[in-house]
Amino acid sequence: MDDLIWGQTSDPVVNRVIQRFVERSAEGMKRFGTSMEANDQPALYWIENAQEELMDGILYLEKLKGELTDG
């Protein structure tokens, strides 16, 4: 999969994020059979999906915060 990355940066953190984007894209192509570019869902579909993903992210952060602060 590294052959899909167009370049590396001098920041290993950024490189890890880029790699994860490449992997996630491949998973999406396998699952949905199309790129996001070619996916013609209406705007509300994208808004609702983004909201759901962000709500999940807040829940994950709250769980971790509780574990780090014991409460």
Model confidence at 71, pLDDT cuts 50, 70, 90, reads: low
Residue 35 · residue 29 · CB < 8 Å: yes
- Sequence length of the chain is 71
Model confidence at 13, pLDDT cuts 50, 70, 90, reads: very high
Q: What is the CA radius of gyration of the chain?
A: 16
Model pLDDT for residues 33-68, shown as the tens digit of each residue: 999 999 999 999 999 999 999 999 999 999 999 999
CA distance 10 to 1: 19
Residue 1 pLDDT greater than 80, yes or no: no
Q: pTM score > 0.85 for this model?
A: no
Q: Where are the beta strands (DSSP E) in 4-64?
A: none
When pLDDT is averaged across residues 15-26 and rounded to a whole number, the result is 93
